[in-house]
Amino acid sequence: MPENETHTIDAGILTSFCTDVFTAAGVPFDEASVIATSLVDANLIGLDSHGVSRVTDYLARLDQNLVNPKTDLTVVAETAGTALLDANNGWGQVASEKAVEIAIDKARAVGTAWVGVTNSNHNGTAAYWTRKIAEAGMIGISGTNSSPVMAPFGGKDASLGTNPISIAVPTKNGPPVVLDMATSAQARGKIIVAAKNGETIPLGWALDASGHPTTDAKDALDGTLLPMAGPKGSGLAIMVDILAGVLNGASFGADMPRMYGDSAPQLLGHFFIALDISAMTPLSAFLNRMTIREHQTRDSTPATGYESVLMPGDLEARKRNNNLRTGLLLSPSILDELLATARSRGIETQLV
């Protein structure tokens, strides 16, 4: 394969391929399909750091018995509007899929619902789950805690994860408006992809192991991420850690094992909130008002250097539509890694 040559792959073919790889590794087919679909969706919206580059990482943890091949979900606590699920160290996507279903069902019944997940693993992009809630005609909110790779504002010891949070809102004529953000200056997954591809990173993303600013992705992975907007990102990361970890009885803060490098289950937490809009106001009236709100942003005059003004999620929605139509571009390093992982499981599919 020529160096630096990218390859275009149909999203459906890539999803089936990844499903087969997970299944060959001992993951039940229905669970493998859920995981693969969420990972490919991340590539579709341009968030390659949470996409199929994670397949090899997930299976490395499976091989080390750090995640269970089958997700055995149990209900720890439940009321009319809340639930807490124990993933029992199963797949984060599988636990999240069930949690979202429960949140939507409960919100339809009582107006709003909060569902927590404990003892889980990486669950992909937060937007993938809030978008599902928004597509059900509700407002969705989700967050998850993660490995301590970021120092709190004013400190130098990593005791916080990137702890992403997402909010999705349905619209009348288009895809949901979706905010999905890490609380760090940049998601660690993007640094991981940069390291795999031999690329540098911008200053301001991370410090090296000695506490110095760095543009070397590999040095950054040995160091510490920086919070976005100083105390604001730090404070938001702490609150997400409380809601996803402390509240749910999951791992949290400095005590959570890292996904890369630590030989212990992470047992992290997620939370999902569904708000049935019709419990507050007629859905049709809300969607009409949302259309006005969208126009107020998109029709505003772009500042110098910008072609247009976007709503949260616009760029990702455009990328998704384009990638579904034209196929996904994978770098040679990620494609080679995928194919090598597949061969190690007895799968000889070439993809391209």
**Domains contained in the chain, CATH given:** 1-63+301-352 (1.10.1530.10), 72-184+229-299 (3.30.1370.60), 185-226 (3.30.60.50)
pLDDT on residue 209: 87
Answer whether residue 181 shows pLDDT above 70: yes
Average pLDDT over residues 135-151: 96
Give the span between the Cα atoms of 94 and 98, in whole angstroms: 7
Catalytic residues: 122
**Angstrom distance (rounded) from CA 255 to CA 46:** 31
CA pair distance 223, 65, nearest whole angstrom: 26
Give the span between the Cα atoms of 259 and 274, in whole angstroms: 28
pTM value?
0.92
How high is the pLDDT of residue 66? 97
DSSP letter, residue 160: B
The predicted model gives 75-82 an average pLDDT of 98
Contacts of 73 (CB under 8 A, 6+ apart): 85, 86, 87, 88, 90, 94, 95, 98
Enumerate the H helices of the chain as residue ranges.
Answer: 11-24, 29-44, 54-63, 92-110, 126-135, 188-196, 217-221, 231-241, 283-298, 314-326, 332-344
Tell me the per-residue pLDDT of 321-337, one tens digit each, with 9 for 90 and over.
999 999 999 989 999 99
**Angle between helical axes of 188-196 and 332-344 (0-180°, round to 10):** 90
**Is residue 91 within 8 Å of residue 121, measured between CB atoms?**
yes
Q: In the structure encoding, which two tokens stand for residue 63, read together?
A: 């091989």
What is the rounded distance in angstroms from the CA atom of residue 184 to the CA atom of residue 160?
Answer: 9
pLDDT at 317: 97
The Cα–Cα gap between 294 and 167 comes to 15
Contact 219, 205 (CB under 8 A): no
Query: For residue 350, what pLDDT band results from cuts at 50, 70 and 90?
Result: confident
Residue 113: strand pairing partners: 274
Mean pLDDT of the 68-81 span: 98
CB 88 within 8 A of CB 119: yes
The per-residue pLDDT for 36 is 98
For residue 156, how far is the Cα from the chain centroid?
Answer: 26
Give the number of other CB atoms < 10 A from CB of residue 258: 16
Distance between CA atoms of residues 196 and 202, nearest Å: 16
Quote the CA–CA distance of 38 and 155 in Å, as a whole number: 35
pLDDT at 5 over 70: no
How would residue 3 be classed by pLDDT, with cut points 50, 70 and 90? low
